Amino acid sequence: MSAPTDPSPGSRDRAPGPRRSTVRSGVDEGGTPPPPRRRLALVGRLGLVVVLLLAVVATVVVVSQRNQFGRQDAGAEEIPALEVAPAPVQLGTVAQPDALAPPTSLVPGGAPSQAPGGGAHTVSGWATDIASRVDVPARALQAYGQADLAVKQEQPDCNLSWVTVAGLARIESNHGRYRGASIAENGDVTPRVIGVPLDGTGGNRTIGDTDGGVLDGDTALDRAVGPLQFIPSTWAKWRSDGNGDGVADPNNIFDAALAAGRYLCAGGRDLATGPGWRAAVLSYNNSDEYGRRVYAAADSYASASQA
């Protein structure tokens, strides 16, 4: 017996069933137009291509932002800079926001006031009083207040306010709280906040090692360090002792805040003017988007401090 030629063996023995329509276009037997299969398939392919392209673009943006704002080992939701939306302002037209100033109780050498129990008449008391309103650790606020007062004594024409230092610290490390870090009583931030290798990617400059890896642990390239994210070579120029312990350490928030204040005021800048404030902040990171994020944080602290 020869093999059946019917593609469905045994089908010749089946009873005839209802006739199926062989119409591929127009109207079928039920009167309903069939779906345009080829068109749907094409649309589906195009949709898939669009989704893939969007995914690639999103990945590139996230990676770029991770590099730009100092981290590669964190998701976008963990990067402090990306948690603050840029303020809808034109830099150069807005000056440093007005805020509740710390009391003038700077002790010799720039050390933070440690008066028992604090009180609003001391910097530590002022910091404690407004910490919950501005959502910044009191120890960090104390460091910013001390920097404000110290720089005002050294360079009164700069008109530095603590809110600008606080705005920078929010963007750079969330006030030393990045990934669960904390601030000790003396201002040390642990674990240390170390940035990405400055290898020229993600909008960063290429900066070869300048400190032998002493500050950043990298003997090939420099990395930004500490709650204010100082590049080792910049720290070498602006190093400061903000807590009066005889040591200048970029991983100490008192030291870093004072150094940042002095750095912002370099070149005779006046932060009470729009151009002066823009030049100061963009000297930290030459990006208008970065500057608008710093302004958004600084402005929110200024408003909350006066509430």
pLDDT tens readout for residues 248-264: 999 999 999 999 999 99
State the pLDDT confidence band at 110, using cuts at 50, 70 and 90.
very low
Judge residue 92's burial from the number of C-beta atoms within 10 Å of its C-beta, 0-12 exposed, 13-18 middle, 19 or more buried: middle
Quote the pTM value. 0.73
What is the dihedral sign for C-alpha 192, 114, 259, 64? positive
Counting every residue written for the chain, the total comes to 307
Rounded CA separation 107/254 (Å): 14
Which of 120-129, 144-153, 192-201 reaches the highest mean pLDDT?
144-153
pLDDT of residue 41: 65
Q: Which residues contact 173 (CB under 8 A, 6 or more apart)?
A: 80, 181, 189, 193, 226, 227, 228, 229
Q: What is the pLDDT of residues 187-242, one digit of tens each?
A: 999 999 999 899 988 778 899 999 999 999 999 999 999 999 999 999 999 999 99
The more confidently predicted of residues 216 and 31 is 216
pLDDT of residue 54: 54
In percent, the amount of the chain with pLDDT more than 90 equals 62
Lowest-pLDDT choice from 12-16, 76-80, 89-93: 12-16
pLDDT of residue 2: 35
Each residue of 199-223: b (16+ CB within 10 Å) or e? beebebeebebbbeeebbebeebbb
pLDDT of residue 83: 86
Alpha helices in 189-252, H assignment, sequence order: 232-238
pLDDT of residue 53: 60
Residue 63: C-alpha distances to residues 19, 50, 199, 278 (Å): 59, 20, 14, 26
pLDDT(68) > 60: no
Which token pair is 180?
A: 């669960």
pLDDT(246) > 80: yes
pLDDT(9) > 60: no
pLDDT of residue 36: 60
State the pLDDT confidence band at 104, using cuts at 50, 70 and 90.
confident
Lowest-pLDDT choice from 2-11, 228-237, 284-293: 2-11
pLDDT of residue 192: 94
The more confidently predicted of residues 279 and 110 is 279
What mean pLDDT is predicted for residues 154-172?
A: 97
pLDDT of residue 14: 34
Local structure of residue 19 (DSSP, 8 states)? P
Within 10 Å of residue 244's Cβ, how many Cβ atoms? 16
Judge residue 3's burial from the number of C-beta atoms within 10 Å of its C-beta, 0-12 exposed, 13-18 middle, 19 or more buried: exposed
The more confidently predicted of residues 176 and 108 is 176
